[in-house]
Structure 1
């Protein structure tokens, strides 16, 4: 599946971003929290499961036709059919997210499991890619965190870019910055000005 690696400035809090945030409602974003990246495992990785299912059903049918297995062996055909469908559902229900303050994963077909870790708890990140992954551009980003609650963004597109975004977001958080939004600071400024005018009026009396 495709992933979104756009910069924060490309994620306004309205329009297309509103659709993104509604699709990530399970994450319960804070009002000033920005999505840095979100994605899913690559859909094409399920193809191998379809190949296994087809080969399994062909082999099973041949075994029954040659009397190697009884006709009851055909009862296993639905099992082979379910395998790729289950993997597809597993991928479709898995989401990975990086915000400006945490990373999170959502997974689960019948139930939902959400894991969230603050960026300041990240200790190390590694990328693993098999030969096929290197060829067509997908891999797994493993995130080691303080306390041992490691997470993995598995089979994502452009894993090196994902790791770069993750480390960049963590660095920005570590270096710090002015908390709050410009609107919040403007409100504080107006209130301070009000206090100053009140003090000046008191002094003039």
Structure 2
């Protein structure tokens, strides 16, 4: 992606595969609450302005290695979760979000207490969650393969060798070389 994120430091082999912000439609609740407050108390401007600034100053990124969330109006907070640490991903869509096509994507980590990161108000949260889930599975599969030093084919080959050895020992135990009839096997 061509957008430059001055708050983000990527590894040499890491690339941004998805980026987003809270949907502008997610501000409708602030407008709905803020406009009457402008008329009644004058505080509605603060409600609307703070919701708008929060939305504009929040960025979400999925890279080839992890997921990032940047928040902050006057200061900046960046949270990163590497795919290897992700335990579960889910999404939720409220009634208004369902109508306007936005919702939340939640990420839980192994060893964490509940949801560690929430991408709030993203457009098409189901598609974002699916993409995130696929990347997590791919990363965790690569990690497991690298840790074991074996591929699935290697594991299946080992199982086949063990099964052949078991069959040979059973055949040797019957003394017939595997020619036992069905009647001989069952007393």
- Normalising by structure 1, what TM-score? 0.65
Q: Which residue of 2 aligns with 1:159?
A: 125
Q: Which residue of 1 aligns with 2:104?
A: 140
Deviations 1:68-126 (A, max 9, x none): xxxxxxxxx2x321210111000100011111111110001111000001101110111
Question: What CA distance in whole angstroms lies between the structure 1 residues aligned with 2:82 and 2:96?
Answer: 32
Question: What CA distance in whole angstroms lies between the structure 1 residues aligned with 2:27 and 2:97?
Answer: 13
Unaligned runs of 5+ in 2: 147-187
Question: What CA distance in whole angstroms lies between the structure 2 residues aligned with 1:51 and 1:175?
Answer: 46
Query: Which is greater in Rg?
Result: 2
Q: Are 1:176 and 2:157 matched, yes or no?
A: no
Give the conservation status (yes or no) of the 8 Å contact 1:101–1:119: yes
Q: 2:94 aligns with which of 130, 137, 147?
A: 130
Give the conservation status (yes or no) of the 8 Å contact 2:26–2:102: no
Q: CA RMSD in A?
A: 2.0
Question: What CA distance in whole angstroms lies between the structure 2 residues aligned with 1:81 and 1:89?
Answer: 12
SS at match of 2:22: coil
Unaligned runs of 5+ in 1: 1-16, 61-76, 180-205
Give the conservation status (yes or no) of the 8 Å contact 1:41–1:155: yes
Residue 159 (structure 1) shift: 0.5
SS at match of 2:11: coil
Q: Which residue of 1 aligns with 2:25?
A: 44
Higher helix share: 1
Q: How many corresponding residue pairs?
A: 143
- Normalising by structure 2, what TM-score? 0.71
SS at match of 1:25: coil
Q: Which residue of 2 aligns with 1:111?
A: 75
Question: What CA distance in whole angstroms lies between the structure 1 residues aligned with 2:100 and 2:31?
Answer: 19
Give the conservation status (yes or no) of the 8 Å contact 1:36–1:165: no
Q: Are 1:83 and 2:64 matched, yes or no?
A: no
Question: What CA distance in whole angstroms lies between the structure 2 residues aligned with 1:99 and 1:28?
Answer: 11
